[in-house]
Every structure is written in C-alpha cells, then in structure tokens.
Chain A
Amino acid sequence: MKKWASVQRGLCVLTCGMALLSCASDSSDEAAVRVEPTVELPRDVPPLKDYGGIGGSFELQDQRGEVFRLQQLEGRPAMLFFGYTYCPDICPVTLSKMAAVYRLLDLQPTDLQTIFITVDPERDTKEKLAEYLAYFQIGALGLTGTPDKIDAVVRQYGGYYTLNKQEESADYFADHSTYTYLIDQQGQVRFLFRHGDSPEYMAAVSRQLF
C-alpha cells in the first residue's frame, strides 16, 4: 500500500511539475516534455538582480564567421560564459550543466541562447569552436574576435583571464573567470552563476526569466 501511495504521490508531483514547466516555458507547440521526472527544482532561490555596472552589447564573430551582436537575440534570454576549447575541466563541466538546464526546463536553444566566448582566439579557430560546441547539442554560439575585442568584452562583463603560455611547450592552459552570466530578454545581466552551482539551481533561477 505504502509503495502505491508513493507511486501516486510521485505521479502527482510529476504531473504538476510538467504542468508548471509547460506554463513556465510558455511554448504554444506541443513539444514532448523532457523534464527529468525525479528531479524537483529547488524553490528557495534568490530573485534575479540588476547588475548595473557590467554587461551590455558587443560585437564579435560566431563559429560560422558571421558577425554577432547581442541585440540580435531580439528578446531572447541568454547564458554567457568565457572559456576556451582546450579547457579540460571547467568549460566542459559548465557546458554540460547548461545542457542539463535545457533538459530540466524543457527549453529549446531558441528559447535561451548559450553564448561561449573564447579567451584563446589563437587556438580556437571557427572550426574548432564549431566542432567543440556541437558536442553539447544546445545550439551554443561560439564567439571569437581579435584579442583586443575579446579583452574589451571581458572587461565589460567584469571577467578575467590570463593565458599561461610556456616557452618549452605548445600546450598551455588559461586561468579564467568562471561565472556564467544569465542575460534577460532586454540584454541585461540578471544573475551570476558560480562554478559550483548545480544545474537544478541554475534551472530554478533561470526559470524566473520566463
């Protein structure tokens, strides 16, 4: 009996969760709900904030070689991250967490744009960015530009990076800021996710945008 009650409760939670999420995502089409049924998103998450000092528009090139300006998102929110494709740990983890956010909120790449800005334009060619980002299957934009242009965007977002190039080796790694910027439909930074934040937390915070 107990087991059945728990199954019933589970089904109810699942149904309510699906209903809530379909409202939250405000999608008119009947796309299959891909919410992971066993996961309940945390409820007590901080509200979105205003970060007056950081963020704003910029212009870089995407992995197809086309110019990208933040305004082009035209009312779509975004998650923005500075990294590089040779990054062995932080970057793939962050992108995997972003992929989980899409699954948890049943979002399509067109609902929320992931933007990956390389801090290593020398090695991160357009082709490398395209190949790397395709792996995560979230339609991420990979942006690059001249070091000056990239530095300007990093400064604009209060970020930081340094390439630890070594004379004796072609391999090098970067120290870099690891915040993921949640950007609203108006192009304003509304939340900074830290590297340790779970996908569930990120999903629960991001949900407030929809």
Chain B
Amino acid sequence: MLCGVGLALLWVACESRDESLVVVRDAWVREPPGGHPIAAAYMTMVNNSDMATALVSAESSAAERIEIHSMTHENGKMRMRQVERVPLPAGGRVVLESGGLHLMLMGLSNPPRAGDSIDLTLRFADGSVRAVSASVRKGL
C-alpha cells in the first residue's frame, strides 16, 4: 500500500508524458530567511488539453494555507494582490516566477530548509487535482 502511494507520488513528481490536463514542471520554494513561517512557491504549468482551465487553489500539509498572489511592478513600485484563479488557456503555459505570479505558503509548521521538499496539491477549475513535489532552494 505504502509502496503504491510512493509510486503514485513519484509518478506525479516526475510529470511524465501522460494525459494530464495540466503538467507542472520545475516547482520550487524559496528557503525563507530567518526561519520565517512564510515562503513563496514557483513553477511552470502547461495545459496540454484543448480546454481552457484555471488554477483555483492549492494546499499543502506543510502550510496552514496557500494563497495565489500576483505581482505587478511599475515605476519602481511593487504591488502584490491575492487572486482567485490563474487562467490556463487551452494549450497554454503559465509561469509562476519570482517577481510575478506565485503561491504564498503561510503558517509553515516547520520552516523549510534548502534540500527539503514540500508537497503541494493543486486544484483546477475542471475539478482535477495535481500533486506536486516542490524542492526548497536558496537564493534568487
């Protein structure tokens, strides 16, 4: 049973060339400086289907809650806002990256350290769910 769960997780983590609607790649979390209980997560999401969908929420056993945030940068001013969804057009690709859209992990029970990995469950507008393992890294 455990082995089955492990294999399933591995399969999801590897993001193989399966029929998933949305494939998630390069998921990572920035190690929070000074052991702060918040961290940002980034990734690339590719919608391999011909149906538009959207990321609508995310959760993790490591965090009390996760918000989706957008960031805009104009004239040297940064504005960050919570958003309800990240649209994923049919065949489209959306990058969550530093300085832009990202997931905000809040209330981390144990501040993650570089080398750890954090499980994320992503929920999409079509009702599908994707489990992703995000590696914790230092830096930019």
Contacts and interface: CB of A to CB of B under 8 A. Distances in A.
Interface of A: 85-86, 88-90, 92-93, 95-97, 128, 131-136, 160, 164, 171, 173, 175-179, 192, 194-196
B77 A86 contact: no
A89 B30 CA distance: 8
Interface stretch (B5-13, B17-25, B35-43, B124-132): B35-43
Contact of A173 (B76, B77, B80): B80
Interface string B78-91: 11100000000000
Contacts of A175: 77-80
A176 B138 CA distance: 23
How many B residues are at the interface, by size bracket? Answer: 20 to 34
A89 B98 contact: yes
A195 B69 CA distance: 18
B99 A132 contact: no
Contact of B34 (A93, A131, A196): A131
A136 B33 contact: yes
Given A179-B76, A194-B76, A195-B78, A89 B99 contact: yes
Given A136-B33, A171-B106, A178 B140 contact: no
Determine which residue in B39, B69, B139 has the highest number of CB atoms from chain A within 10 A of its CB, and name it.
B139
A24 B70 CA distance: 41
Nearest to A135: B33
B67 to A, nearest CB: 9
Given A93-B98, A96-B139, A96-B140, A85 B36 contact: yes
A128 B43 CA distance: 29
Given A89-B71, A89-B98, A96-B139, A178 B78 contact: yes
Contacts, number: 72
Interface in B59-105: 69, 71, 73, 76-80, 98-99, 102, 104
Given A88-B104, A93-B140, A176 B77 contact: yes
B30 A90 contact: no
B77 A177 contact: yes
B38 A132 contact: no
A136 B139 CA distance: 10
Contact of B39 (A88, A93, A196): A88
15 contacts: A85-B34, A85-B36, A88-B38, A88-B39, A89-B40, A89-B99, A92-B30, A93-B140, A128-B34, A132-B33, A175-B80, A176-B78, A177-B77, A178-B73, A192-B76
Contacts of B38: 86, 88, 171
A134 B33 CA distance: 9
A160 B75 CA distance: 11
Determine which residue in B30, B79, B80 has the highest number of CB atoms from chain A within 10 A of its CB, and name it.
B80
